Amino acid sequence: MGGTVLNYGSKELYLEAYKAGWEKGWKAGWEKGLKEWRIDLVTRKYQRGESIEKIADDLLMSTVEVEELLNNQEEADDDSFRMGSLEIAALLGHWKWF
């Protein structure tokens, strides 16, 4: 009977650790994806000839934030997921959540 309780306790600890690790990994992945999306969006607008001030105004960001994203565009992996125009359009209506 003692082995059963220990086994159950181990399983419970494992499930709690698994859940905590999954949530931490999911959050880190979400944050990385969001940062890459913002870098990609700012870079595309800049490449189309929009000024840093206009980009900042459109995205309700400061010019410093836009400049930092443009300077850090190399951080995004070349093989990372890039959103298409439909995904960006869908998110633009909800970007204030971020």
Task: Round to whole Å and give the CA distance between 60 and 57.
Answer: 5
pLDDT digit string (tens) for 57-85? 999 999 999 999 888 775 554 445 555 55
Asked if residue 70 lies in contact with residue 46, where contact means CB atoms within 8 angstroms, the answer is yes
pLDDT digit string (tens) for 8-32? 678 888 888 888 888 888 888 888 8
Consecutive H or E run containing 13: helix 2-47
Residue 54 has pLDDT above 90, yes or no: yes
Rg (CA), the chain: 21
Residue ranges making up the domain that contains 43: 2-97
Query: In the chain, how many domains are there?
Result: 1
